[in-house]
Structures are given as structure tokens and as C-alpha cells.
Amino acid sequence: MSSSAPTETHLRDRIIADPDVILEDRDLMRALIAANEKSLGNNIIDLRGIAMERLEARLERLEDTHRSVIAAAYENLAGTNQIHRAVLKLLDPADFEHFLKELDGDLSDILRVDHLRLVLESGRAGRDATLDRLGEVLTVVEPGFVDSYLTMGRNAPPRTVTLRQVQPSDGRIYGQAASWIRSEALIRLDLGEGRLPGLLAMGAEDPHQFSPSQGTDLLGFFGGVFERAMRRWLS
């Protein structure tokens, strides 16, 4: 008893000197409130305690929302920086062949996609010696293929940016890698008056990398820059 008394006195003096030590400790405050409710008995309702519990629950929800907003802001900033780096990479090549080769090189690494492909419609679909030098990065298809692929055959207007989870049955875009694709981002390209549309396809093996619930503003901006670069080369 004699040894515990000085300790209790010291603890009491410390609490009086700095009460925030208790007020900022949630577990300690819960224990004190529970002890208070127990001392009141079962026939008394502590309205103040109920109000405190509701305020505490609301504060926890606000803190969760705050963390979510901050995480979304950081993610959006990271995505913006990623697109800016990709746009700068588009401006580097000095000729069209190197421009296309960048798609399956540094550009796909910057965008963090497994496969990046350019699809162009033409009345003379098929491969020649020039396309063979470029590998699988460029695919030439028949007129109407782009819109049909975007809408999956449905009678609906194609969107500029389409995000979806898919397992392509047509291997013309991704070639042998089509069997590994589980999600994709598709950007429809307007290549100028008098020209058939094009398609920039970003394929991912992760089924959750692209989904319809994600925003498309940054990809829309990147697509606008890409199609303007394409118009310059095609002219």
C-alpha cells in the first residue's frame, strides 16, 4: 500500500498537469465512459454517452473519407505525370518507323501496359515488307474493323476511349499475345478528313488494370496528342 500510494499521487498530478494525455487516448476514454455507464446502473440512459458514440462513428467515417480523397489525389497526380512522360516520348522520334517502334518499347513501359498496338484501316489490308520490319506493333485491317471491334458488333456509336475486361477472340490486334489479354484500353483515332479511323490498343494481362468504372480523361488527352502526331506523319 505504501509503495502504490506515491505512484497514484504521481499519476494524479501528471493527469491534472496535462489532461490531454487522457483526452487524446481513445482506448482510455472508452474505458472511462464504460466505467461511468456501469456506475449509472441499467435503469439510466446516458444520452451524452450515446451522442459521443455517434460523433465518434461520424469522425471515423470522415477520417476514412479523408484518406480516400488523399489516395485518389495522389493516384491522379501519378497518372497525370505518367501521361506527360508518354506525350514527351511521342515527340522524340525523327521518322515514322522509329515513332512506331517506340510503341512497343519505352512508351509501353511508361504507360505500364503489356502490349501496345496501332491499328489502321485500309482498302489494302495485309502485311508487306515494311510492316514485317515493324513486327506486330502495327496492324492493317479492312475498313469498318475499328468501329466493329470497339462496339463488339453492337448497334451503338463507338466511344473515343473504351475501357473493358475482355479476352480477345480476334488475334489480329495482339497477335499470339491475344490469349493472355484480360483487359484493354482502346482509343479511337481521328486521322483527319478523308482518312479512315485508326485505333490505339493497350492490352493488359491483369483483368483489373482496365475497367469501365475508371476515368478516361487522361487517356482521352493522350489519344488527342497521338492522333495529331499521326496526322503529321501521314501528311
Given the candidates 2.60.120.640, 1.10.150.120, 3.30.450.40, 3.40.50.720, the CATH classification of the domain at 83-234 is 3.30.450.40
**Per-residue pLDDT for 223 more than 90?**
yes
Distance (Å, whole) CA 74 – CA 79: 9
- Secondary structure letter of residue 157 according to DSSP: P
Q: How do residues 144-202 score in pLDDT, each as one tens digit?
A: 999 999 998 788 888 999 999 988 777 888 888 888 999 999 999 999 888 899 999 99
pTM of the model: 0.68
Distance (Å, whole) CA 197 – CA 162: 15
1 confidence band (pLDDT: 50, 70, 90) = very low
**Per-residue pLDDT for 220 more than 80?**
yes
Q: Which three cell numbers stand for residue 223?
A: 489519344
Q: What is the mean pLDDT of the chain?
A: 81
SS3 202: strand
Higher pLDDT, 44 or 124: 124
**Per-residue pLDDT for 50 more than 70?**
no
User: Is the CB of residue 206 less than 8 Å from the CB of residue 183?
Assistant: yes
131 confidence band (pLDDT: 50, 70, 90) = low
Q: What residues does CATH 3.30.450.40 cover in the chain?
A: 83-234
Burial of 178 (0-12, 13-18, 19+ CB in 10 A): middle
